[in-house]
Structure formats: structure tokens, C-alpha cells
Amino acid sequence: MIRFLTAGESHGKGLTIIVEGFPSNLPFDIDLINQELKRRQSGYGRGLRMKIETDKIELLSGVRFGKTLGSPIAMFIKNYDWEAWTEKMNQELNPGNVEKISVPRPGHADLTGTQKYRFNDIRNSIERSSARETASRVAAGAVAKLLLDQFDIKVGSFVESIGGEYANPELINKLFSNVLFNEYGNAAELSKKADLSDVRVLNTSHENAIIEKIKKAKKQGDTLGGTFFVIATGVPYGLGSYMHYDKRIDTEIAASIMSINAVKGVEIGAALLAAESFGSESHDEIILKDNEFYRKTNRAGGIEGGITTGLPIIVKGMMKPIATLMSPIKSIDFKTFSEVESRRERSDFVAVPACAVIGEAMLSWSLAKFFLDKFGGDSLEEISDNYYNYLSKTIKIIERNFKFND
């Protein structure tokens, strides 16, 4: 069983990540992890902090001579903004001149966190609930990507919409018709194409329409949400189980994507379309292709009965607009209990492209978790033996089990 823990505040000294349960001898690519962190910081519509922080990991333990030891992997991401916050975030003494925040922002954890933990300063809630924590998840998810890469399992993403400006429906039809990857090869290649866009879309005219919408939001002091797809290719059949609710891989994936800040909905496959369609229009016909079981379409998103089918995993996340507004809406001041405008805080106007990258990290983690549950071993070599032995026997086992003359 793998797991990761994160620690750190948005304006503290930095973020600590501990990753546990990965095998020995896994090649560890620090440059790849740092590249994933850089991707998270990109995108048109991001705030000023992205110009302050240049996220890179400092590797503290768990790796020697470029390979994992099988022990916990510890990483640290420095907050460069900490230098301007040493007084406000003093860990020992309250200087006494730090103004307490008393006006919660609607849509954030300002009110709920302050109520739950009985704080006397909303800053205490802001610091941990901030999306700054997602940098830690991207680092942990990148370790999972390193494992999946060893078995040609690729994870990528692209933005479908921002502010109601949607991609051409034909693109999504190709995705569920098993033809999109004839053009892009695998999920990683698709993601590289998306990375060329400032808003991580796959079409230039679509990009232009979105940027104009973001400019309008900026001018109004407003923010925008949107939708994004996270996809994994090369995933073997058989990950997950229908035996218990928490063993279903779609349970894990949905929870992992929902855990991302500001994500309010998750769709696996063409779920919403299926809810409006006949069964004959929703399910994927089974065929034999190259002596393997295959589906003509992939409306199920690569999962049936909580188990992977061997087709691409297709997950859609829905992100609400960022709750910090430069043209604030109404709130309540805790000091006076009077109605006031909610507080302004440095923030992004749009973070959907970054959210898609974080989605990649979370999907990678979920897949690595179920992959190791099924094929796990103490070393990368042992896992490889288990995995390739499994793949080599698929058709033979079905043929043997369904012979009725014995």
C-alpha cells in the first residue's frame, strides 16, 4: 500500500512531502518532478505569486545513486514568499502587531475552518486550506508517474472549457470513439500538445476565445472556472474490484479528483451523456482485436464494474470559479457581525489549466496504488516479473476456463 503525507502552510517556510510504499530500484528523475511542478504554475490568468515562486524539490531521503531504496521518500519545496511573511507566520511568538483577519471569503474554507477549529484569526484557516498545498500533490504524483512510465502507462490532460467556452464537440466524440489516440499516440503526447497552449487546449481558435473571456473576467475583477479531462493510456485490464465499494477503482479515482481545491464535480467516461441516452447508445460493444478483448467505443471511460478494461481511463473534472474576487461579494465581519464586502486576497483569475495538471498527479497516484496492490513486490524487478507474467496469459486463461469437454 502506498501513501503520501504533506505538511506546510501557504506562506510558511515550505512544503514537505513524504511518499511511502514504492519499490526499490525505481529510477528517480528529479528533473521530471521539477518539470511537473513547473507545469502546475503555468497558464494564462494565473496570479502574481507564480512570478515569485519557482517550485523545485529538495530531495531529503529514500534515493541513492538515482534509484529508490524502498524506504520513505522525503521531499521539500521552498516557499520563496516566506521571506516577506516571517512576522505574520512566526512559529514561536505573536509579535503583537499582526492584524487578525475577521472577514471570511464566500466559497473558501475561511468560515468553515474557523468554526471547526475555533480559531480567532481566519489566517490560520487560510494557510492550510490554500491551493498552495497542491504543489505537494504534484510532487507525489510525479513519483507515481515514474513508476507507471516503467510499464508504458502514460497520464495526460487537456482543458475542455473555461467560462463556458467549450471545445469542438467532435474532439470529445473522437475521445470516446477510440480514435483520438490515432492522432496523438498516448496520453503523454496529447498532454504535450496541450502544454503548447497558454490555456492547455488542443485548438488555436478555442484558445483565442478562452483568452478573450479571461480578459473580460480580469477587467470585471471576476474569476472563471471550467472543465478538464485527465486521461491514462496503457492501463492494463484488471485493476480494481467489485467485491467491496472501496476496492472499486472508480471510487478511488473520483475521490482523488474531488479532493482537489475548487473541484465540484467528477465524471468518468461519458456519464452525463449516458444518463440521457438509451442503453444501446451508451455501452461499449466487445470485440476481439489482435487476439485481445477490445471495445468498439470507450463511453465507460476504461472502467466497468469498478475494474479497468484495458482501454484509456477518461476522467472529467469540473472546477468552480476561484472564490477570491477583486470585485467582492457580501460577507460578515466577525468583529462587528455587520454586513461587509468580502476580503480581497492575491489570487488567480483562472486556474483550470493548473487544475488539470494536478488532476494528472492524482490520477497517477490512484493508478499506481491499484497497480501495486495487484502486481506489488519489494523491488521494481519483482513487480515487472509479476506484471508481464500476468499479461502473457490473458487469452489462454479464458480459453482454458471455458472449455466444456473436460
| Tens-digit pLDDT profile for residues 1-20 | 899 999 999 999 999 999 99
Q: Is the pLDDT of residue 183 over 80?
A: yes
Rounded-to-integer distance, Cα 156 and Cα 161, Å:
16
Q: 3-state class of 27 per DSSP?
A: strand
Phi-psi domain of 305 (left: phi exceeds 0; alpha: psi -120 through 50; beta: other):
left
Residue 404 lies in a domain: no
- The confidence score (pLDDT) of residue 289 equals 86
Q: Does residue 394 belong to any structural domain of this protein? A: no
CA distance 204 to 257: 27
Q: Does a structural domain hold residue 391?
A: no
CA-to-CA dists, residue 202 to 151, 160, 214, angstroms: 26, 9, 17
Question: Could you report the per-residue pLDDT of 205-255, keeping only the tens digit for each?
Answer: 899 999 999 999 999 989 999 999 999 999 999 999 999 999 999 999 999
What pTM value is reported for the model? 0.94
In a domain, 336, yes or no: yes
Neighbours of 397 (CB within 10 A): 10
The three grid cell numbers given for residue 329, joined into one nine-digit string? 461579494
Q: Is the pLDDT of residue 405 over 70?
A: no
Tens digits of per-residue pLDDT, 122-159?
999 999 999 999 999 999 999 999 999 999 999 999 99
Does residue 398 fall inside a structural domain?
Answer: no
CB atoms within 10 A of CB 332: 16
Strand partners, 244: none
Give one DSSP letter per residue of 300-321, joined into a string: TTTEETTEE-SSPEEEEEEEPP
Q: How confident is the model at residue 398 (pLDDT cuts 50, 70, 90)?
A: confident
Among 38-47, 319-328, 394-403, which is the least confidently predicted range?
394-403
Number of domains in the chain: 1
User: Mean pLDDT throughout 371-383?
Assistant: 97
Residue 53 has pLDDT above 70, yes or no: no
Q: Any idea what the CATH number is for the domain that residue 14 is in?
A: 3.60.150.10
Confidence class of residue 50 from pLDDT cuts 50, 70 and 90? low
Structural domain contains residue 201: yes
Asked if residue 370 lies in contact with residue 1, where contact means CB atoms within 8 angstroms, the answer is no
Specify if 173 maps to a domain: yes
390 within a domain of the structure (yes/no): no
C-alpha cell of 117? 477549529
pLDDT digits (tens, 9 = 90+) for 70-106: 999 999 999 998 888 988 898 887 777 888 999 999 9
- pLDDT, residue 401, reads 79
Helix/strand/coil (H, E, C) string of 341-391?
ECCCCCCCCCCHHHHHHHHHHHHHHHHHHHHHHHHCCCEHHHHHHHHHHHH
Identify the domain containing residue 297 by its residue range: 3-384
